[in-house]
């Protein structure tokens, strides 16, 4: 599969309202203070942990890891271009390990390995927070082929959720909801830039045809709720 580069590049996921609301959600899950040590696995441009660093001024900057090094990664965090499994073997300890919209890039075996290493990398009372798209009644705006691909991906996520449950055992579930209000023109640009993994392997012809469908299907402003399932584990 091609690498996903634009999921947090000028989308609602990189907007100030989204980041602010997401970090308020995090604050309800874990007590954040200057001594909190954070690892963000699959951090992208590190918008989330950058905003946290600005607010809390952690003594040790949050660490973001990703296999893609975007040129506009935030500068107030420590970024490392490295595979998560390799990095977690460094045996550093964290109070929060954040895995946001990343699990679908792992095989079943690698996900199990990731979870085992993540548990060992937590400080006492540390937390792992895993976020992934809600698999039932998802309202992401789609054209027909895009929806087919997304549904296949979400079915696979259901299998991965079972692996997470069997591995972590003591977990709780909540949802993070964000109300999106985006212009159709901007959403079409996001589709062209393949902002979501279900678009990555589609041909240019399929994308072009899909955009025509979006143009006829949706009004000038597209409104929906982006819902992430949050799986919480405390050591």
* pLDDT confidence tier of residue 137, bands split at 50, 70 and 90: confident
pLDDT at 3 exceeding the cut of 70: no
In tens, the pLDDT along 154-181 reads 999 999 999 999 999 999 999 999 999 9
- For residue 209, CA distances in Å to 34, 44, 80, 99 come to 50, 29, 38, 33
Tell which residue, 100, 102, 121, has the closest CA to residue 111: 102
Please determine, for residue 6, whether its predicted confidence score (pLDDT) is greater than 80. no
The pLDDT, as a whole number, for residue 2 is: 57
Q: What is the pLDDT of residues 99-127, one digit of tens each?
A: 999 998 899 999 999 999 999 999 999 99
Q: What is the pTM of this model?
A: 0.93
Q: At what angle do helices 144-168 and 108-120 cross, to 10 degrees?
A: 50
Q: Number of C-alpha atoms within 13 angstroms, CB side, residue 19?
A: 19
For 69, other C-beta atoms within 10 Å of its C-beta total 10
Percent of the chain with pLDDT over 70: 97
Please give the domain boundaries of the chain with CATH numbers for all domains.
12-183+225-234 (3.40.50.150)
The residues near 148 (Cβ < 8 Å, ≥ 6 apart) are none
Evaluate if residue 11 carries a pLDDT over 90.
no
- Please, which residues have CB within 8 angstroms of residue 101's CB and are 6 or more apart in sequence? 7, 42, 131, 132, 133, 228
pLDDT at 1: 46
């Amino acid at each position: 599969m091609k690498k996903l580069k634009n999921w947090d590049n000028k989308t609602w996921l990189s907007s100030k309202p989204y980041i602010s609301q997401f970090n308020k959600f995090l604050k309800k899950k874990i007590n954040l203070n200057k001594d909190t040590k954070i690892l963000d696995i699959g951090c992208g441009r590190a918008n989330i942990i950058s905003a946290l660093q600005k607010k809390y001024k952690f003594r040790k900057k949050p660490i973001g890891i990703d296999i893609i090094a975007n040129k506009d990664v935030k500068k107030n965090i420590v970024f490392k271009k490295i595979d998560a499994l390799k990095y977690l073997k460094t045996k550093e300890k964290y109070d929060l390990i954040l895995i946001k919209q990343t699990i679908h890039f792992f095989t079943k075996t690698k996900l199990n390995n990731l979870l085992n290493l993540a548990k060992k990398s937590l400080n006492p009372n540390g937390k792992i927070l895993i976020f992934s798209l809600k698999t039932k009644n998802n309202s992401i705006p789609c054209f027909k082929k895009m929806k087919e691909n997304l549904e296949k991906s979400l079915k696979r996520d259901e299998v991965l959720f079972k692996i997470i449950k069997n591995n972590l055992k003591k977990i709780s579930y909540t949802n993070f909801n964000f109300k999106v209000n985006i212009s159709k023109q901007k959403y079409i640009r996001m589709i062209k830039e393949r902002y979501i993994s279900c678009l990555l392997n589609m041909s240019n012809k399929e994308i072009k045809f899909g955009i025509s469908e979006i143009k006829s299907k949706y009004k000038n402003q597209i409104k929906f709720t982006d819902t992430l399932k949050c799986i919480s584990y405390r050591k």
